[in-house]
Chain A
């Protein structure tokens, strides 16, 4: 079936540095999402993105976070600067439309900030 690919699967970065998490969504999808899962906790919504713009974001989407999808390439989540509390698994997701259409998730990128 359709797949969302996330690269890399695991990234270790020094606190204060910038990190970019890459997501290759399903090819014809138009809506994109990032979720964050801290170890032992539930997956939590960060942001959704459509037509080149952030449509909605949660309180977890700090000012240090940004998303973009330049020219239909990777959908990226950038964190600059990183903090220890940013250590988590970040899941990318995409869907063709709003409403009841299926949302497809990637396998996640485990980010460790040291």
Chain B
């Protein structure tokens, strides 16, 4: 059973629009949710992360909205730029303290100038 699911699989937006990437999870004991961004030929890199004590985390143009009751979260990218074109992975880890992540399959975002 896939623990973390992402939708859509791919997303295309125009420059300046807000891109919304969705994520849901199965295990209610998950307590840390990072989003990683992957550019072609590079390593996945941490973009932003949230813990369930918060329902929102903001960092510049990137905002995570978190709904613990529904076990859903979303990443909003406002004023999308062509340089935001990448694959975005939602991940989750439990309360062991180790960063053993369950990853989603990713959302491929394309921002058209």
Contacts and interface: CB of A to CB of B under 8 A. Distances in A.
B33 to A, nearest CB: 11
A40 to B, nearest CB: 8
Q: Give the size category of B's interface with A.
A: 20 to 34
B44 A91 contact: yes
Interface in B18-42: 32, 34, 36, 41-42
A106 B92 CA distance: 19
B112 interface: no
A45 to B, nearest CB: 5
Contact of A56 (B41, B51, B100): B100
Interface of A: 3-4, 31, 33, 35, 40-45, 48, 55-56, 58, 91, 93, 95, 98-108
Contacts of B49: 100
Interface of B: 2, 4, 32, 34, 36, 41-46, 49, 51, 89, 96-106
A7 to B, nearest CB: 14
B59 to A, nearest CB: 13
B100 A42 contact: no
Given A42-B106, A100-B32, A100-B49, A3 B43 contact: yes
B43 A4 contact: yes
B96 to A, nearest CB: 7
